[in-house]
């Protein structure tokens, strides 16, 4: 839900509009899609885009009387017409927001915190409050439609998640080439880092840690979501010394609408079966199993 985000969510709007013909003084009907800062035109609602245009930095103006919207970019000018007043107002508002929605306006991006195969995490400083955040930067691959679809499915889950034992997502900024996810900053690093620093935990020290993990897992299950990569490196700490509070992070997720088979990336901690697509409750039965190996890793030398 958008109210979970500090600066709203990327724009997502689609519908039919009239576009002026370049040659003849007539208008043709086209299906337009606005996904974050990218506006695209389609002959049909199911067809590939005839063209795509980033509206970031564009000049967007409207004529209320004629219900006309003009989007002026450096390399393209688009003029469209609506037939319904509420559609005109919705499109004008969405395009104006999309044209000015830059992460740099709200956050100063700083030093590298971590890096993986497909993304890096940098420090983000709120320009108004000076509060620190962790910003995950994902480089988009234009030829990886399936990967982008998975990312957006994960983001749709993030919008609805808000729990003390889940690393919170505060903002999402989308551009043509990158996706920025503003996350809660956990200064204690990962549970794996803490174990290297302190050595194995006693049972008394491990008990509240495991309790936090189980609470986070139970909350995800209540939302029909499965954490598919529960391991020490995806559990973050609020400080570098015991006692600590921990939160789940780095979670490739699976909701009830996800693919029919679940593949777990951390084989050592994975449930030793692959669940066929049935109910989410059936999928969720395996996740508490992985909490056992996590607890064992905390208490074993």
Could you tell me if 131 and 46 lie in one domain? no
277 with 260: CB under 8 angstroms? yes
Rounded to the nearest 5 degrees, what angle is found at the Cα of 234, between the Cα atoms of 201 and 173? 145
Buried b (16+ CB within 10 A) or exposed e, 257-283: ebeeebebeeeebbeeeebeeeebeeb
Could you tell me if 216 and 285 lie in one domain? yes
pLDDT tens digits, the chain, 301 residues: what are they? 445 678 877 778 999 999 977 666 678 999 999 987 889 999 999 999 999 888 888 999 999 999 999 999 888 889 999 999 999 999 999 999 888 888 998 999 999 998 877 789 999 999 999 999 999 998 877 556 666 666 766 776 777 788 999 999 898 888 778 889 999 999 999 999 999 999 989 989 999 999 999 999 899 888 888 777 788 888 999 999 999 999 998 755 444 434 333 333 333 333 333 344 454 444 454 455 567 778 777 877 5
Count: domains in the chain: 3
Could you tell me if 203 and 276 lie in one domain? yes
44 is in an annotated binding site: no
Q: How many residues does the chain have?
A: 301
Q: Which residues pair with 34 in a beta bridge?
A: 13, 39
In-domain check, residue 197: yes
Could you tell me if 202 and 291 lie in one domain? yes
Buried b (16+ CB within 10 A) or exposed e, 147-167: ebebbbbbbebbeebebebbb
Who's near 29: CB < 8 A, 6+ residues apart? Answer: 16, 17, 18, 19
Q: Residue 194's closest CA among 142, 230, 233?
A: 233
CATH no. for residue 236?
A: 1.10.510.10
Who's near 199: CB < 8 A, 6+ residues apart? Answer: 301
In-domain check, residue 2: no
78 with 99: CB under 8 angstroms? no
**Considering the entire predicted model, what is its pTM?**
0.71
In-domain check, residue 241: yes
Q: Which of 87, 126, 229, 238 is catalytic?
A: 229
Could you tell me if 231 and 271 lie in one domain? yes
- Domain containing 16 equals 8-101
CATH no. for residue 149?
A: 3.30.200.20
Annotated active-site residue 229? The verdict is yes
């Amino acid at each position: 839900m958008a109210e979970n985000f500090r600066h709203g969510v990327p724009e997502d709007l689609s519908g039919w509009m009239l576009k002026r013909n370049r040659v003849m003084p007539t208008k043709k009907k086209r299906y337009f899609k606005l996904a974050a800062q990218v506006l695209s035109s389609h002959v049909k609602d199911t067809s590939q885009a005839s063209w795509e245009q980033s509206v970031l930095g564009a000049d967007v103006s409207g004529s209320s009387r004629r219900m006309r919207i003009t989007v002026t970019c450096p390399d393209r000018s688009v003029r469209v017409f609506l037939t319904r007043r509420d559609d005109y107002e919705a499109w004008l508002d969405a395009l104006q927001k999309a044209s000015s929605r830059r992460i740099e306006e709200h956050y100063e991006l700083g030093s590298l915190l971590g890096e993986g195969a497909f993304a890096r995490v940098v420090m983000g400083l709120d320009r108004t409050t000076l509060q620190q955040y962790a910003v995950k930067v994902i480089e988009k691959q234009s030829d990886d439609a399936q990967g982008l679809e998975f990312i957006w499915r994960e983001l749709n889950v993030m919008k609805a998640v808000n729990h003390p034992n889940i690393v919170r997502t505060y903002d999402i900024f989308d551009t043509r080439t990158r996706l920025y996810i503003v996350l809660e900053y956990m200064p204690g690093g990962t549970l794996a880092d803490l174990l290297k620093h302190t050595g194995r935990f006693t049972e008394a020290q491990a008990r509240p840690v495991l309790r936090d993990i189980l609470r986070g897992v139970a909350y995800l299950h209540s939302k029909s979501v499965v954490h598919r990569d529960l391991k020490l490196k995806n559990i973050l700490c609020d400080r570098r010394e015991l006692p600590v509070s921990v939160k789940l992070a780095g979670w490739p997720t699976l909701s009830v609408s996800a693919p029919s088979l679940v593949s777990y990336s951390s084989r050592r901690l994975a449930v030793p079966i692959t669940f066929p697509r049935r109910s989410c409750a059936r999928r969720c039965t395996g996740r508490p199993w992985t909490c056992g190996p996590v607890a064992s890793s905390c208490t074993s030398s």
